[in-house]
Structure 1
C-alpha cells in the first residue's frame, strides 16, 4: 500500500484547497520580458519610496541577526501615527497571517464565522482552517447603485448567531473594489453583540478618497470587540516583504501572542515599514497617481465597451456579463496578466490592477 499523507490530514485541513496564486509569473517574465504587463496582483507600480529603500539597504548588513521579535520600533511608529497604545498592535507576515490567526485563536468547530459572499478570499479559508462553520451572507445585487456585489451589512448583522465568534468585513473590498460608509458600519456595530469580534480588513485604506469612508478605527473606543487589519503591501509598495498589522483591544492582541510565530516579520520588513510610514511625500504621490490612473483607465475601458464597478482601491473589477475566461486567455497570450474571478464565484468578471501608464496602455492595446 502506497503512502498518502492526505489521508492523515486533520478534519479542518482535509476540506481546504491550496491557495491559487494565479499564473506562473517567473515563467511569463522569461517569455515576455519587459513587455509583460502584470495587472493581476494589486501591486503598487511605483514601488517602495526612497526612505524605505534606504532603510532596506542599511538593514542588509544585519541580515545574520534575528529581527526584533516584538517589532517594538515599528509598533511605536504605528502607535504614534494612529493615536493608539502600542499594546493594541499586533504585527503579522502580511495581514493574511493576522486574519488567519484571529480565526485560529477565537473560533473552532463549536463556532460560526460570518462573512460576505464575494468577500476577501482569506475569510472562508480562515474559517475552514479553524474548523468553524462559515455563514456566507449573499452580496448586494449587481444592480445596486452604490455597491454592486458589495457587502450587505444589514443582512450580515442579521446573520450573526449565538455561536458566532467572528464577523469578517473588508472595506474597501477585494475583489469588488466596493465599500460601505462609516455610518453603515456604526449601525452594524450597534447590532452585533460585544462577545463577537468584528474584524474590518482595511488593506486598501490608503487609497480611499470617498467622503463617506474614513476608518473603522474611529469606533474602536466605543466597541472593544472591533479589530482592524492593514498592510504595507499595497500603497506602501512592500508586497515582497510581507508585513501587516492589526489594531484591537489589548486582550485580543494578548491572545494572538500565544499563537503568533516567533520572528514572524523579518528584519528588512520591519526597517522598511517603519521608514515607509514616515515617508508622507511618497504616499501622497502614490495616492495621486492611483486616483488619476484609475479614473483614466475606467474611462478608456468604458470607451471600448467594458464596464468597471465603482472602486476605492488600486484595481477595477470589470463585469463582462458573460464568461470572462476567453478574454483572460486572449490577454495572457499577448503578455497581459489580469486576474480571473471564477474562484470567487464571479466568472463573468476580471480584476485588473492599476499598473503603470505603459502597462495600462498595453492592456488597452491588447483588448479585442
Structure 2
C-alpha cells in the first residue's frame, strides 16, 4: 500500500543544493594521501589572528551559557569601526544568514530578484526558496553589467544583489558605475552590496558603500564577513549594515542566539588585531603577483582579481584537472559550476602552497 507523503513547496525543487569545496579529510581518504592543501574555498591561508584563538580559549569555560543574542560588545565595536549607529547593524551565522533574512523579510512569491551571472549562488537560493522569480544578467568582461541590470528592473523587482568583488570572478564595479546605477533604482527595490572580500580591495575606484547609508538611503544593505580576511570561516559570523528601519525588519526574521559565543569573542579580538589583517593582505598581494607571473609564463589567461582568489582558463576540462590535482594533494574549484567549463578557481595561498599548486598544475596539464 502506498503511503501518503506531506505536500512540500514546489518551489524548492528549483533549488540546487550548495556544493562546498571538497574537504581535506575526504581527499586524504579517497586518494590515500596524508599531505593535502585546500585552495578551493577562499579561506585565509595563514589562519585566524592568534588573539582570536586566545579569546576562544579564555571563554571556553562559558560555553554552557547562551551567547549574547544582541552581540552587544561586537555591535559596539563594529559600529565604531564602520562609523554607523548600533541600530544600523545585524549579525548572522555568516553573512549567508543575513541574505536569508533579507529574503524572508522582503521576497513574496512572484517578486523578481536581479543577480549577475555567474555570481554567489546564495542569492539564487534565497530567491527560489521564497518563491521569487530569478532574473540573471550575464557578466560583461567577467564584471557586473550594471546598465543591463538596471534595464531589467520592473514593477515586480524587489531585490538586486551586487557582489563586489564578485565571486567567482574577483572583479569589481567602480564607484562611478554604481552611482549611475543607483540613480536608476527605485526606492522600493532593496539593493544588497555583498562585500565579503572588501578588505582585500585596494583600487581607489572601489565604492565606499557606507557613504550611501550616510546619505540616508533606506533601501541599501551592505554585507561583510569575518570568514575571509579574518580567517574565522569555521565559526560562521558575518553582519549587515543598513538604515535602522531596515534593521528593525530583519531583526523580526532573525532567530535568537544565532551567533555563537566563540564566534563573538573571536570576532572582537580579530577586529582589534589590525596587524593580522594587514599581514593577511600582504600575503595575498604577494601570492597574487606570483600566480599572475606563473600563469603568464605558462601562457594561461586569467581574470585579474581584487579578492583572495582568481580564475584561470586552462583550455581543458576543469573536472578532469580537478581530479588529477587531487591525486597530487591539491584541492581547487572547478569552473563548470559557474558555467565556465575550462576555468578553475583557486584560492591564493601561502608562498609554499602557491608553488606547490603551480608545480602540480604544470604536471597535470602536461599529462592531459
Query: Within 5 Å, which residues of 2 pair with 1:185-200?
Result: 185-200=178-193
Q: State which of 207, 212, 218 in structure 2 corresponds to 1:219.
A: 212
In 2 relative to 1, CA 52–34 (structure 1 residues): closer, same or farther, beyond 3 Å?
farther
- Per-residue CA shift, 1:75-113, capped at 9, x if unaligned? 110000000001010000001111121112101213111
* Equivalent residue number for residue 74 of structure 1: 74
Unmatched runs of 5 consecutive residues or more in structure 2: none
Deviations 1:274-296 (A, max 9, x none): 11111111111111111111111
2:256 to 235, 251, 262: 262
The 8 Å contact of residues 24 and 36 in structure 2, kept in 1 or not, is answered as no
1:49 maps to: 49
TM-score relative to the length of structure 1: 0.94
Deviation of 1:50 (Å): 1.8
The 3 A distance-change label for structure 1 pair 21 and 3 is farther
In 2: Cα distance, 1:2 partner to 1:346 partner:
43
What's the CA shift string for 1:322-346, capped at 9, x where partnerless? 4322222221121110001212211
The 8 Å contact of residues 87 and 250 in structure 1, kept in 2 or not, is answered as: yes
Q: Tell me if structure 2 keeps the 8 A contact 1:96–1:122.
A: yes
Q: Corresponding residue for 2:143?
A: 150
1:165 alignment partner, SS class: strand
Counterpart position of 1:118: 118
Asked if the contact 2:309–2:345 (Cα under 8 Å) also holds between the matched residues in 1, the reply is yes
Alpha-carbon distance change, 43 to 34 in structure 1, aligned in 2, over 3 angstroms: farther
CA contact (8 A) 2:317 2:341 kept: yes
- C-alpha deviation, 1:34, in angstroms: 5.3
* Unmatched runs of 5 consecutive residues or more in structure 1: 141-147
Relative to structure 1, is the Cα distance of residues 321 and 276 closer, same or farther in structure 2, using a 3 angstrom cutoff? Answer: same
Task: Give the C-alpha shift of residue 236 in structure 1.
Answer: 0.2
CA contact (8 A) 2:200 2:281 kept: yes
Q: 1:159 to 1:47 in 2, by over 3 A?
A: same
TM-score, structure 2 as length reference? 0.94
- Listed one character per residue, the Cα deviations across residues 137-158 of structure 1 (whole Å, up to 9, x for unaligned) are 1210xxxxxxx22100111111
Q: In 1, distance between residues paired with 2:357 and 2:230? A: 24
Asked if structure 2 preserves the Cα contact closer than 8 Å seen for 1:121 and 1:344, the reply is no
1:19 paired to 2:31: no
Partner of 1:179: 172
Structure 1 pair 296/32, CA: closer, same or farther in 2 (3 Å)?
A: farther
Per-residue deviation, 1:305: 2.1
* Matched length: 360
Deviation string for 1:105-126 (max 9, x for gaps)? 1012131111111111111111
Q: Per the alignment, do residues 328 and 2 of structure 1 end up closer, same or farther by CA in structure 2, a change over 3 Å counting?
A: farther
Query: Is the partner of 2:233 in helix, strand or coil?
Result: coil
Q: Is the 8 A contact 1:118 1:150 kept in 2?
A: no
| RMSD (Å), alpha carbons | 1.6
Distance 2:159 2:89 in 1: 19
